[in-house]
Amino acid sequence: MDFLTLTPALLLPWLLGMVVVLATRNPIYTLDDPGELAWIAGTGYLAGAILATLWMRALSLAAIPFGRMSIAMPLLAISVAGSIFVWYRRDGASLALACRRALAPPPYVGITRLLWWAACAWIALRFLLLGLEVSWQPLFPWEAWIAWATKARVWFELGHMTSFVDAAQWLKSPGSEWFDAQPANPATLPLLQVYVCIALGRWDDVLMNWPWWQFAVALTLLTYGGLRRLDATPAEALVGTYFVASLPLANAHVALAGYPELPLAAYFTAATLALLRWASIRARRDFVWAALLAACCPLIKVAGWVWAPILLMGWIVAVAPKLGRKLVITAFAVSAAALLVLARTKVTLAGYTLHLDFAPSWAALVDNTLVFSNWNMLWYGVVAAIVLAWRRTLVPPLLPLSAIVAAHLFLVATLFAFPGVARLVADAPGVERAMLFGAPVLVVFMVLAYREFLVRCRSAPVVVTAAAAAAAEPAPQ
Protein backbone atom coordinates (compact mmCIF):
# COMPACT_ATOMS: atom_id res chain seq x y z
CA MET A 1 0.00 0.00 0.00
CA ASP A 2 2.82 2.42 0.81
CA PHE A 3 4.32 1.68 -2.60
CA LEU A 4 1.09 2.62 -4.39
CA THR A 5 0.83 5.97 -2.60
CA LEU A 6 4.52 6.81 -2.38
CA THR A 7 5.57 6.16 -5.97
CA PRO A 8 3.18 8.67 -7.63
CA ALA A 9 4.01 11.24 -4.96
CA LEU A 10 7.75 10.89 -5.60
CA LEU A 11 7.31 11.00 -9.37
CA LEU A 12 5.06 14.06 -9.41
CA PRO A 13 7.76 16.70 -8.66
CA TRP A 14 10.03 14.93 -11.14
CA LEU A 15 7.35 15.10 -13.85
CA LEU A 16 6.58 18.72 -13.03
CA GLY A 17 10.22 19.75 -13.23
CA MET A 18 10.88 17.86 -16.47
CA VAL A 19 7.86 19.51 -18.07
CA VAL A 20 9.15 22.94 -17.00
CA VAL A 21 12.63 22.19 -18.34
CA LEU A 22 11.18 20.89 -21.64
CA ALA A 23 8.86 23.87 -22.00
CA THR A 24 11.64 26.42 -21.41
CA ARG A 25 14.52 24.68 -23.20
CA ASN A 26 16.29 26.28 -26.11
CA PRO A 27 14.69 25.24 -29.43
CA ILE A 28 18.13 24.91 -31.04
CA TYR A 29 18.62 21.69 -29.05
CA THR A 30 16.89 18.44 -29.94
CA LEU A 31 16.13 15.64 -27.53
CA ASP A 32 18.52 13.31 -29.33
CA ASP A 33 21.43 15.71 -28.94
CA PRO A 34 24.20 14.12 -26.84
CA GLY A 35 23.21 14.10 -23.19
CA GLU A 36 20.10 16.24 -23.62
CA LEU A 37 17.64 13.66 -22.31
CA ALA A 38 19.78 12.84 -19.24
CA TRP A 39 20.22 16.55 -18.54
CA ILE A 40 16.47 17.17 -18.70
CA ALA A 41 15.78 14.25 -16.37
CA GLY A 42 18.44 15.32 -13.86
CA THR A 43 17.65 19.01 -13.71
CA GLY A 44 13.96 18.19 -13.91
CA TYR A 45 13.89 16.82 -10.39
CA LEU A 46 15.86 19.78 -9.04
CA ALA A 47 13.36 22.18 -10.61
CA GLY A 48 10.36 20.11 -9.51
CA ALA A 49 11.52 19.87 -5.89
CA ILE A 50 11.88 23.64 -5.65
CA LEU A 51 8.55 24.31 -7.36
CA ALA A 52 6.70 21.85 -5.11
CA THR A 53 8.08 23.44 -1.95
CA LEU A 54 7.37 26.94 -3.25
CA TRP A 55 3.76 25.90 -3.77
CA MET A 56 3.63 24.58 -0.20
CA ARG A 57 4.96 27.92 1.02
CA ALA A 58 2.21 29.67 -0.94
CA LEU A 59 -0.44 27.41 0.61
CA SER A 60 0.86 28.23 4.06
CA LEU A 61 0.78 31.96 3.37
CA ALA A 62 -2.78 31.63 2.10
CA ALA A 63 -3.78 29.71 5.28
CA ILE A 64 -4.73 26.63 3.23
CA PRO A 65 -3.94 23.44 5.17
CA PHE A 66 -1.48 20.97 3.71
CA GLY A 67 -3.21 17.97 2.17
CA ARG A 68 -3.07 15.60 -0.74
CA MET A 69 -5.61 17.55 -2.74
CA SER A 70 -4.29 21.03 -1.94
CA ILE A 71 -0.70 20.09 -2.80
CA ALA A 72 -0.87 17.37 -5.44
CA MET A 73 -3.83 18.35 -7.60
CA PRO A 74 -2.55 21.80 -8.70
CA LEU A 75 0.92 20.35 -9.35
CA LEU A 76 -0.60 17.48 -11.35
CA ALA A 77 -2.78 19.87 -13.35
CA ILE A 78 0.24 22.00 -14.24
CA SER A 79 2.20 18.89 -15.18
CA VAL A 80 -0.55 17.58 -17.47
CA ALA A 81 -1.11 20.96 -19.10
CA GLY A 82 2.62 21.39 -19.59
CA SER A 83 2.94 17.90 -21.06
CA ILE A 84 0.22 18.67 -23.60
CA PHE A 85 1.95 21.94 -24.47
CA VAL A 86 5.31 20.22 -24.94
CA TRP A 87 3.75 17.42 -26.99
CA TYR A 88 1.97 19.73 -29.41
CA ARG A 89 4.77 22.27 -29.65
CA ARG A 90 6.43 19.78 -31.95
CA ASP A 91 5.18 16.62 -33.65
CA GLY A 92 4.61 13.91 -31.08
CA ALA A 93 5.92 11.16 -33.34
CA SER A 94 9.22 12.96 -33.89
CA LEU A 95 9.44 13.58 -30.16
CA ALA A 96 9.07 9.87 -29.43
CA LEU A 97 11.59 9.00 -32.15
CA ALA A 98 14.11 11.46 -30.69
CA CYS A 99 13.70 9.83 -27.27
CA ARG A 100 14.32 6.37 -28.75
CA ARG A 101 17.46 7.59 -30.51
CA ALA A 102 18.70 9.29 -27.35
CA LEU A 103 18.20 6.14 -25.28
CA ALA A 104 20.07 3.93 -27.76
CA PRO A 105 23.42 2.65 -26.35
CA PRO A 106 26.62 4.00 -27.92
CA PRO A 107 28.08 1.97 -30.81
CA TYR A 108 30.82 0.28 -28.81
CA VAL A 109 31.96 -3.26 -29.55
CA GLY A 110 34.00 -5.91 -27.82
CA ILE A 111 35.50 -5.24 -24.42
CA THR A 112 34.49 -1.57 -24.56
CA ARG A 113 30.84 -2.52 -24.90
CA LEU A 114 31.17 -5.01 -22.04
CA LEU A 115 32.76 -2.42 -19.77
CA TRP A 116 30.05 0.10 -20.71
CA TRP A 117 27.23 -2.20 -19.66
CA ALA A 118 29.14 -3.35 -16.56
CA ALA A 119 29.50 0.26 -15.39
CA CYS A 120 25.81 0.94 -16.07
CA ALA A 121 24.84 -2.20 -14.16
CA TRP A 122 27.06 -1.22 -11.23
CA ILE A 123 25.49 2.24 -11.01
CA ALA A 124 21.98 0.73 -11.16
CA LEU A 125 22.87 -1.82 -8.47
CA ARG A 126 24.36 0.91 -6.30
CA PHE A 127 21.16 2.93 -6.39
CA LEU A 128 19.08 -0.19 -5.75
CA LEU A 129 21.06 -0.87 -2.57
CA LEU A 130 20.85 2.77 -1.53
CA GLY A 131 17.11 2.62 -2.08
CA LEU A 132 16.90 -0.31 0.30
CA GLU A 133 18.93 1.63 2.87
CA VAL A 134 16.55 4.59 2.60
CA SER A 135 13.56 2.26 3.00
CA TRP A 136 14.95 0.57 6.12
CA GLN A 137 17.04 3.20 7.89
CA PRO A 138 15.19 5.39 10.42
CA LEU A 139 16.19 8.98 10.88
CA PHE A 140 19.31 9.14 13.05
CA PRO A 141 19.15 11.42 16.13
CA TRP A 142 21.94 13.65 14.88
CA GLU A 143 21.80 17.00 13.13
CA ALA A 144 19.30 15.60 10.62
CA TRP A 145 16.83 15.30 13.48
CA ILE A 146 17.63 18.20 15.79
CA ALA A 147 18.05 20.86 13.08
CA TRP A 148 15.95 19.77 10.09
CA ALA A 149 13.31 17.11 10.75
CA THR A 150 12.01 19.03 13.76
CA LYS A 151 10.50 21.54 11.34
CA ALA A 152 9.05 18.76 9.20
CA ARG A 153 7.36 17.11 12.20
CA VAL A 154 5.82 20.34 13.46
CA TRP A 155 4.61 21.46 10.04
CA PHE A 156 3.15 18.04 9.29
CA GLU A 157 1.20 17.96 12.54
CA LEU A 158 -0.03 21.56 12.21
CA GLY A 159 -0.79 21.33 8.49
CA HIS A 160 1.02 24.60 7.77
CA MET A 161 4.34 26.31 8.26
CA THR A 162 5.16 28.17 11.46
CA SER A 163 8.23 30.12 12.46
CA PHE A 164 11.16 28.71 14.41
CA VAL A 165 13.28 30.94 16.64
CA ASP A 166 16.32 30.63 18.86
CA ALA A 167 16.15 29.75 22.55
CA ALA A 168 16.11 33.34 23.80
CA GLN A 169 13.16 34.34 21.59
CA TRP A 170 11.35 31.10 22.30
CA LEU A 171 11.48 31.71 26.06
CA LYS A 172 10.02 35.19 25.53
CA SER A 173 7.29 34.08 23.11
CA PRO A 174 3.71 33.55 24.32
CA GLY A 175 3.68 29.99 22.97
CA SER A 176 3.26 30.70 19.27
CA GLU A 177 6.88 30.04 18.35
CA TRP A 178 8.85 26.83 17.96
CA PHE A 179 12.48 26.08 18.74
CA ASP A 180 15.13 23.75 17.36
CA ALA A 181 18.93 23.64 17.11
CA GLN A 182 19.15 25.72 13.92
CA PRO A 183 15.98 27.77 13.46
CA ALA A 184 17.43 29.76 10.53
CA ASN A 185 17.71 26.71 8.27
CA PRO A 186 15.77 27.07 5.00
CA ALA A 187 12.41 25.33 4.70
CA THR A 188 12.95 23.48 1.41
CA LEU A 189 14.19 20.12 2.71
CA PRO A 190 11.76 19.89 5.66
CA LEU A 191 8.92 20.69 3.26
CA LEU A 192 9.96 17.80 1.03
CA GLN A 193 9.77 15.53 4.06
CA VAL A 194 6.33 16.93 4.89
CA TYR A 195 5.27 16.34 1.29
CA VAL A 196 6.15 12.64 1.48
CA CYS A 197 4.47 12.17 4.85
CA ILE A 198 1.28 13.83 3.61
CA ALA A 199 1.28 11.47 0.63
CA LEU A 200 1.62 8.53 3.02
CA GLY A 201 -1.04 9.90 5.34
CA ARG A 202 1.14 9.53 8.43
CA TRP A 203 4.42 10.65 9.95
CA ASP A 204 7.12 8.23 8.82
CA ASP A 205 10.71 9.16 9.65
CA VAL A 206 11.99 6.40 7.35
CA LEU A 207 10.16 6.80 4.04
CA MET A 208 10.12 10.59 4.25
CA ASN A 209 13.83 10.52 3.30
CA TRP A 210 13.29 9.24 -0.24
CA PRO A 211 13.93 12.70 -1.77
CA TRP A 212 17.62 12.26 -0.89
CA TRP A 213 17.74 9.15 -3.08
CA GLN A 214 16.09 11.18 -5.82
CA PHE A 215 18.65 13.95 -5.45
CA ALA A 216 21.44 11.38 -5.84
CA VAL A 217 19.86 9.91 -8.98
CA ALA A 218 19.25 13.40 -10.39
CA LEU A 219 22.88 14.36 -9.71
CA THR A 220 24.08 11.25 -11.53
CA LEU A 221 21.85 11.91 -14.54
CA LEU A 222 22.71 15.59 -14.88
CA THR A 223 26.42 14.81 -14.53
CA TYR A 224 26.27 12.43 -17.48
CA GLY A 225 24.07 14.76 -19.49
CA GLY A 226 26.15 17.82 -18.66
CA LEU A 227 29.41 16.14 -19.68
CA ARG A 228 27.90 14.94 -22.96
CA ARG A 229 26.59 18.44 -23.66
CA LEU A 230 30.17 19.64 -23.18
CA ASP A 231 31.31 17.30 -25.99
CA ALA A 232 32.61 14.49 -23.79
CA THR A 233 32.36 11.06 -25.39
CA PRO A 234 29.88 8.55 -23.95
CA ALA A 235 32.74 6.65 -22.30
CA GLU A 236 34.23 9.81 -20.77
CA ALA A 237 30.83 10.94 -19.51
CA LEU A 238 30.11 7.50 -18.03
CA VAL A 239 33.47 7.48 -16.22
CA GLY A 240 32.62 10.83 -14.64
CA THR A 241 29.14 9.59 -13.77
CA TYR A 242 30.61 6.46 -12.19
CA PHE A 243 32.90 8.56 -9.98
CA VAL A 244 30.03 10.80 -8.87
CA ALA A 245 27.76 7.84 -8.12
CA SER A 246 30.50 6.07 -6.15
CA LEU A 247 31.63 8.90 -3.86
CA PRO A 248 31.52 7.23 -0.41
CA LEU A 249 30.57 10.38 1.51
CA ALA A 250 27.81 11.17 -1.00
CA ASN A 251 26.46 7.63 -0.64
CA ALA A 252 26.52 8.03 3.14
CA HIS A 253 24.38 11.15 2.80
CA VAL A 254 21.80 9.06 0.94
CA ALA A 255 21.82 6.11 3.34
CA LEU A 256 21.82 8.44 6.38
CA ALA A 257 19.48 10.95 4.78
CA GLY A 258 18.38 14.26 6.22
CA TYR A 259 21.40 16.50 5.64
CA PRO A 260 21.56 19.38 3.12
CA GLU A 261 25.02 18.75 1.65
CA LEU A 262 24.01 16.30 -1.09
CA PRO A 263 21.05 18.37 -2.39
CA LEU A 264 23.23 21.48 -2.34
CA ALA A 265 25.93 19.63 -4.28
CA ALA A 266 23.31 18.69 -6.90
CA TYR A 267 22.18 22.30 -7.40
CA PHE A 268 25.73 23.64 -7.41
CA THR A 269 26.86 21.04 -9.96
CA ALA A 270 23.86 21.68 -12.21
CA ALA A 271 24.47 25.44 -12.08
CA THR A 272 28.14 24.92 -12.95
CA LEU A 273 27.36 22.66 -15.90
CA ALA A 274 24.72 25.08 -17.20
CA LEU A 275 27.22 27.94 -16.94
CA LEU A 276 29.85 25.94 -18.82
CA ARG A 277 27.32 25.17 -21.52
CA TRP A 278 26.52 28.86 -21.80
CA ALA A 279 30.24 29.68 -21.99
CA SER A 280 30.65 27.36 -24.99
CA ILE A 281 27.36 28.03 -26.84
CA ARG A 282 26.37 31.48 -25.48
CA ALA A 283 22.68 30.57 -25.51
CA ARG A 284 20.79 32.93 -23.23
CA ARG A 285 18.54 30.26 -21.73
CA ASP A 286 21.53 28.30 -20.48
CA PHE A 287 22.68 31.37 -18.58
CA VAL A 288 19.20 31.89 -17.14
CA TRP A 289 19.11 28.29 -15.94
CA ALA A 290 22.58 28.63 -14.44
CA ALA A 291 21.45 31.72 -12.53
CA LEU A 292 18.22 30.07 -11.34
CA LEU A 293 20.00 26.92 -10.16
CA ALA A 294 22.59 29.03 -8.34
CA ALA A 295 19.80 31.04 -6.71
CA CYS A 296 18.37 27.77 -5.36
CA CYS A 297 21.52 27.10 -3.32
CA PRO A 298 20.54 29.40 -0.41
CA LEU A 299 17.10 27.76 -0.41
CA ILE A 300 18.77 24.47 0.51
CA LYS A 301 21.21 25.67 3.15
CA VAL A 302 22.08 29.06 4.61
CA ALA A 303 25.70 28.57 3.57
CA GLY A 304 24.51 28.30 -0.03
CA TRP A 305 24.93 32.05 -0.35
CA VAL A 306 28.67 31.48 -0.05
CA TRP A 307 28.86 28.78 -2.70
CA ALA A 308 26.62 30.39 -5.30
CA PRO A 309 28.95 33.41 -5.86
CA ILE A 310 31.77 30.97 -6.66
CA LEU A 311 30.09 30.66 -10.04
CA LEU A 312 30.73 34.37 -10.52
CA MET A 313 34.42 33.54 -10.96
CA GLY A 314 33.59 31.27 -13.87
CA TRP A 315 31.30 33.86 -15.43
CA ILE A 316 33.94 36.59 -15.25
CA VAL A 317 36.59 34.60 -17.08
CA ALA A 318 34.01 33.33 -19.58
CA VAL A 319 32.99 36.86 -20.53
CA ALA A 320 36.55 38.26 -20.75
CA PRO A 321 39.18 35.48 -20.55
CA LYS A 322 42.32 37.65 -20.39
CA LEU A 323 40.97 40.44 -18.19
CA GLY A 324 38.84 38.03 -16.19
CA ARG A 325 41.85 35.86 -15.38
CA LYS A 326 43.65 38.87 -13.94
CA LEU A 327 40.56 39.92 -11.97
CA VAL A 328 40.13 36.45 -10.48
CA ILE A 329 43.80 36.24 -9.47
CA THR A 330 43.51 39.70 -7.93
CA ALA A 331 40.38 38.67 -6.02
CA PHE A 332 42.18 35.63 -4.61
CA ALA A 333 45.17 37.77 -3.59
CA VAL A 334 42.99 40.41 -1.92
CA SER A 335 40.99 37.74 -0.09
CA ALA A 336 44.15 36.04 1.17
CA ALA A 337 45.58 39.38 2.30
CA ALA A 338 42.35 40.28 4.10
CA LEU A 339 42.37 36.94 5.93
CA LEU A 340 45.96 37.49 7.02
CA VAL A 341 45.17 41.01 8.24
CA LEU A 342 42.16 39.75 10.23
CA ALA A 343 44.36 37.05 11.72
CA ARG A 344 46.92 39.59 12.95
CA THR A 345 44.60 42.38 14.13
CA LYS A 346 41.55 42.89 16.34
CA VAL A 347 39.47 45.63 14.77
CA THR A 348 36.17 46.52 16.45
CA LEU A 349 33.39 47.64 14.11
CA ALA A 350 29.82 48.32 15.25
CA GLY A 351 30.49 46.39 18.43
CA TYR A 352 31.88 43.35 16.62
CA THR A 353 35.51 42.30 16.88
CA LEU A 354 36.83 41.43 13.42
CA HIS A 355 39.43 38.83 14.21
CA LEU A 356 40.08 35.33 12.91
CA ASP A 357 42.20 32.80 14.72
CA PHE A 358 44.75 31.21 12.41
CA ALA A 359 44.64 27.56 13.48
CA PRO A 360 45.33 25.49 10.38
CA SER A 361 44.59 21.80 10.49
CA TRP A 362 46.57 20.78 7.45
CA ALA A 363 47.08 17.26 8.74
CA ALA A 364 43.32 16.80 8.94
CA LEU A 365 42.96 18.24 5.44
CA VAL A 366 45.49 15.78 4.04
CA ASP A 367 43.86 12.90 5.89
CA ASN A 368 40.40 13.78 4.64
CA THR A 369 41.45 14.21 1.03
CA LEU A 370 44.27 11.74 0.46
CA VAL A 371 44.15 9.14 3.26
CA PHE A 372 40.60 8.48 4.38
CA SER A 373 38.13 6.66 2.15
CA ASN A 374 35.57 9.47 1.94
CA TRP A 375 36.48 10.31 -1.66
CA ASN A 376 38.01 7.15 -3.15
CA MET A 377 40.81 8.40 -5.41
CA LEU A 378 39.15 11.69 -6.36
CA TRP A 379 41.78 14.09 -5.01
CA TYR A 380 44.64 12.06 -6.51
CA GLY A 381 42.83 12.23 -9.83
CA VAL A 382 42.33 15.99 -9.56
CA VAL A 383 46.02 16.57 -8.80
CA ALA A 384 47.05 14.34 -11.71
CA ALA A 385 44.65 16.15 -14.04
CA ILE A 386 46.10 19.53 -13.07
CA VAL A 387 49.65 18.28 -13.64
CA LEU A 388 48.87 16.74 -17.02
CA ALA A 389 46.67 19.49 -18.43
CA TRP A 390 47.72 22.62 -16.56
CA ARG A 391 48.29 24.60 -19.76
CA ARG A 392 44.81 23.76 -21.02
CA THR A 393 43.22 24.68 -17.69
CA LEU A 394 44.34 28.30 -18.11
CA VAL A 395 42.64 28.88 -21.47
CA PRO A 396 39.09 28.36 -22.80
CA PRO A 397 37.11 26.16 -22.80
CA LEU A 398 38.42 24.91 -19.43
CA LEU A 399 39.22 28.34 -17.99
CA PRO A 400 35.74 29.06 -16.48
CA LEU A 401 35.67 25.64 -14.82
CA SER A 402 39.23 26.12 -13.56
CA ALA A 403 38.24 29.41 -11.94
CA ILE A 404 35.28 27.74 -10.19
CA VAL A 405 37.45 24.86 -8.98
CA ALA A 406 40.16 27.26 -7.78
CA ALA A 407 37.56 29.26 -5.82
CA HIS A 408 36.22 26.07 -4.26
CA LEU A 409 39.70 24.86 -3.26
CA PHE A 410 40.55 28.31 -1.88
CA LEU A 411 37.43 28.27 0.28
CA VAL A 412 38.11 24.73 1.52
CA ALA A 413 41.68 25.69 2.47
CA THR A 414 40.35 28.81 4.22
CA LEU A 415 37.85 26.76 6.22
CA PHE A 416 40.64 24.51 7.48
CA ALA A 417 42.98 27.41 8.23
CA PHE A 418 40.47 29.68 9.98
CA PRO A 419 37.93 27.86 12.19
CA GLY A 420 36.01 31.11 12.63
CA VAL A 421 35.19 31.15 8.92
CA ALA A 422 34.06 27.54 9.19
CA ARG A 423 31.52 28.51 11.83
CA LEU A 424 30.21 31.26 9.58
CA VAL A 425 29.85 29.49 6.25
CA ALA A 426 30.20 25.75 6.67
CA ASP A 427 27.82 25.18 9.56
CA ALA A 428 28.94 22.92 12.39
CA PRO A 429 29.79 20.19 13.02
CA GLY A 430 32.12 19.33 10.13
CA VAL A 431 34.15 21.33 7.65
CA GLU A 432 34.73 18.07 5.80
CA ARG A 433 31.11 18.12 4.66
CA ALA A 434 31.81 21.41 2.90
CA MET A 435 33.98 19.47 0.47
CA LEU A 436 30.94 17.52 -0.70
CA PHE A 437 29.39 20.63 -2.24
CA GLY A 438 32.12 20.84 -4.87
CA ALA A 439 33.13 17.18 -5.18
CA PRO A 440 30.97 16.44 -8.27
CA VAL A 441 32.32 19.61 -9.92
CA LEU A 442 35.85 18.34 -9.23
CA VAL A 443 34.89 15.11 -11.01
CA VAL A 444 33.68 17.12 -14.00
CA PHE A 445 36.93 19.10 -13.97
CA MET A 446 38.99 15.91 -13.80
CA VAL A 447 37.18 14.31 -16.76
CA LEU A 448 37.35 17.41 -18.95
CA ALA A 449 41.01 18.08 -18.05
CA TYR A 450 42.00 14.55 -18.99
CA ARG A 451 40.03 14.95 -22.20
CA GLU A 452 41.89 18.15 -23.06
CA PHE A 453 45.17 16.40 -22.31
CA LEU A 454 44.31 13.58 -24.71
CA VAL A 455 43.21 16.08 -27.36
CA ARG A 456 46.55 17.87 -27.02
CA CYS A 457 48.41 14.57 -27.35
CA ARG A 458 46.50 13.59 -30.46
CA SER A 459 46.98 17.01 -32.05
CA ALA A 460 50.69 17.33 -31.19
CA PRO A 461 52.83 17.74 -34.31
CA VAL A 462 55.02 14.81 -35.25
CA VAL A 463 58.68 15.83 -35.47
CA VAL A 464 60.60 13.79 -38.04
CA THR A 465 64.37 13.99 -37.84
CA ALA A 466 66.53 14.00 -40.93
CA ALA A 467 67.94 10.57 -40.09
CA ALA A 468 64.45 9.12 -39.69
CA ALA A 469 63.33 10.69 -42.98
CA ALA A 470 66.36 9.26 -44.79
CA ALA A 471 65.70 5.84 -43.31
CA ALA A 472 62.10 5.99 -44.46
CA GLU A 473 62.99 6.79 -48.08
CA PRO A 474 62.87 3.79 -50.44
CA ALA A 475 66.21 2.41 -51.48
CA PRO A 476 67.28 3.29 -55.06
CA GLN A 477 66.72 0.55 -57.59
Q: What is the pLDDT of residues 244-260, one digit of tens each?
A: 999 999 999 999 999 99
- Whether the CB-CB separation of 140 and 258 falls below 8 Å is answered with yes
Domain membership of residue 120 (yes or no) is yes
Out of 38-42, 69-73, 222-226, 325-329, pick the least confident: 325-329
Considering the domain boundaries, does residue 463 fall inside one? Answer: no
Give me the DSSP letters along 365-384: HHIIIIISTTSTTHHHHHHH
Within a domain: residue 475? no
Do 181 and 133 sit in the same domain of this protein? yes
Closest residue by Cα to residue 434 from 361, 368, 386: 368
Per-residue DSSP letter, 54: H
Same domain, 141 and 98: yes
Packing angle, helices 110-136 and 248-255, rounded to 10: 40
The verdict on residue 294 lying in a domain is: no
- The better pLDDT of the pair 181, 52 is held by 52
E strand or H helix that includes residue 165: strand 164-165
Total number of residues shown for the chain: 477
More confident residue, 26 or 8: 8
Report strand pairing: 178-179 vs 164-165. parallel
Contact between 328 and 403 under an 8 Å Cβ cutoff? The reply is yes
- Asked if 36 and 229 count as a contact pair (C-beta separation under 8 A), the reply is yes
Best mean pLDDT range from 83-97, 283-297, 463-477 = 283-297
Q: Looking at the domain assignment, is residue 468 inside a domain?
A: no
CA 238/CA 34 separation, integer angstroms: 13
Q: Do 235 and 319 sit in the same domain of this protein? A: no
Statement to judge: residues 246 and 142 lie in one domain:
yes
Please give the Cα distance from 16 to 84 (Å, whole number): 12
The answer to whether residue 65 is domain-embedded is yes
| Residue 44 dihedral angles phi and psi, to the nearest 5° | -60, -45
Residues 272 and 307 in one domain: no
What does the alpha-carbon distance between residue 177 and residue 286 come to, in Å, rounded to a whole number? 42
Listed residues 284, 315, 337: the one ending a domain:
284
Residue 41 and residue 167 in one domain: yes
* Predicted local confidence at residue 428, as pLDDT: 42
Q: Which domain holds residue 367?
A: 303-458
The verdict on 205 and 83 lying in the same domain is yes
Q: Are residues 205 and 309 in the same domain?
A: no
**How many structural domains compose the chain?**
2
Q: Residue 107 — pLDDT band, cuts 50, 70, 90?
A: confident
Separation of alpha carbons 37 and 2, rounded Å: 30
314 and 414 share a domain?
yes
473 is a domain residue:
no
pLDDT at 72 over 60: yes
Determine contact, residues 316/275, Cβ cutoff 8 Å.
no
Q: How confident is the model at residue 330 (pLDDT cuts 50, 70, 90)?
A: very high
pLDDT at 460 over 70: no
% the chain with pLDDT above 90: 55
Whether the CB-CB separation of 89 and 179 falls below 8 Å is answered with: no
Q: Quick one: 274 and 418 in the same domain?
A: no
Are both 255 and 335 inside the same structural domain?
Answer: no
Per-residue pLDDT for 424 more than 80? no
pLDDT (tens digit per residue) in 187-246:
999 999 999 999 999 999 999 999 999 999 999 999 999 999 999 999 999 999 999 999
Question: 474 in a domain, yes or no?
Answer: no
Query: What pLDDT does residue 97 have?
Result: 77
Q: How does pLDDT run across 263-296, given as a tens digit for each residue?
A: 999 999 999 999 999 999 899 999 999 999 999 9
> pTM (2 decimals)?
0.92
Same domain, 270 and 339: no
